Amino acid sequence: MTSANTKGLVTDIAGLRENAGTHIGYTDWQEMTQERVNQFADATDDHQFIHVDVEKAKQTPFGGTIAHGFLTLSLVAPVSQQLMQVSDAVMGVNYGLDRVRFPAPLPVGAQWRGGMEIVEVSEIPGGVQIKSRITIEVKDSEKPACVADSLVRVYGGS
Tell me the pLDDT of the chain averaged across its residues.
94
CATH of the domain at 101: 3.10.129.10
Average pLDDT over residues 61-65: 98
Neighbours of 130 (CB within 10 A): 25
Count of the separate structural domains present in the chain = 1
Q: Which of 19-23, 67-71, 72-76 comes out lowest in average pLDDT?
A: 19-23
Could you tell me the residue range of the domain that residue 82 belongs to?
3-156
Contact 79, 146 (CB under 8 A): no
Taking 80 as the threshold, does the pLDDT of residue 6 lie above it?
Answer: no
Mean pLDDT of 123-142: 97
Yes or no: say if 85 and 13 are a contact pair by the CB < 8 Å rule.
Answer: no
pTM above 0.75, yes or no: yes
